[in-house]
Amino acid sequence: MIAIVDYGMGNLRSVEKGFLKVGVDARIVTDPASIDNAKGVVLPGVGAFIDCIKNLTDMKLTEAIIRAIQKGKPYLGICLGLQVLFTESEEFGVCKGLNVFQGKVVKFPKSELKVPHMGWNTLDMKKRPPVFDGIKDKEYFYFVHSFYVVPADQEIIASTTDYGISFTSMVWKDNVFAMQFHPEKSQELGLKILKGFGEFVKKA
């Protein structure tokens, strides 16, 4: 079973329906024990970084998520589920993250482009994670965000995307796959990622 972590923020039903559509057993959970017992962990989310961290902490989910990652359980982070892996965010002042990866979350610089970055955009693949089987370079995925991650370690960057600047749109290291875009909103290609994650969990 894959645990979809419910901490009060995020498009959980769409993620759950996406997994069900590709035949993957993924269930919404709200407690640390369910994360401990799961074979894989999915952390979706939209909204403010500081609220995400507060809710995860209040619900005592933070340690369970970090424990799962450290044990090598497959982890899929979506949008906020990517951002909270990093050291800190500058949204609403400095807020500490989970520090799974060193780096920070910053706002898009002022430009003629609208923020949030919302809609379809392409991925420039730097390295291809196993959950991306059958997905080509420069494919389109759905984004909605005002902040992006700046990893200290360039080696974890799996893809970048251009929106006025080139920003990190996906990271991958070992058992951790995390993306700024929303696979559950990215139609057939997004479903391929969810299916690929399910296959990775089976083999883990």
Task: Tell me which residue of 40, 68, 66, 53 sits closest to 9, measured CA to CA.
Answer: 53
- What is the residue extent of each domain of the chain? 2-203
What pLDDT sits at residue 9? 85
Give the tokens for residue 115. Answer: 């923020």
Under-50 pLDDT residues of the chain: none
What pLDDT sits at residue 155? 98
What pLDDT sits at residue 84? 96
CATH number for the domain running over 2-203: 3.40.50.880
Residue 156, judged by CB atoms within 10 A of its CB (0-12, 13-18, 19+), counts as buried
Q: How far is CA 163 from CA 19, 145, 147, 175, 201, in A?
A: 29, 11, 12, 28, 32
Q: Determine the distance from the C-alpha atom of residue 146 to the mean position of all C-alpha atoms in its chain, rounded to a whole number.
A: 15
Share of the chain above pLDDT 90, in %: 93
What pLDDT sits at residue 170? 98
What pLDDT sits at residue 124? 97
SS3 187: helix
DSSP of 31-80: SHHHHHH-SEEEE---S-HHHHHHHHHHTT-HHHHHHHHHTT--EEEETH
pLDDT digits (tens, 9 = 90+) for 36-47: 999 999 999 888
CA distance 86 to 90: 11
Catalytic residues, by residue number, are 79, 182, 184
| pTM for the full predicted model | 0.96
Q: Determine the distance from the C-alpha atom of residue 111 to the mean position of all C-alpha atoms in its chain, rounded to a whole number.
A: 26
Q: Are strands 147-151 and 124-125 parallel, antiparallel or unpaired?
A: unpaired
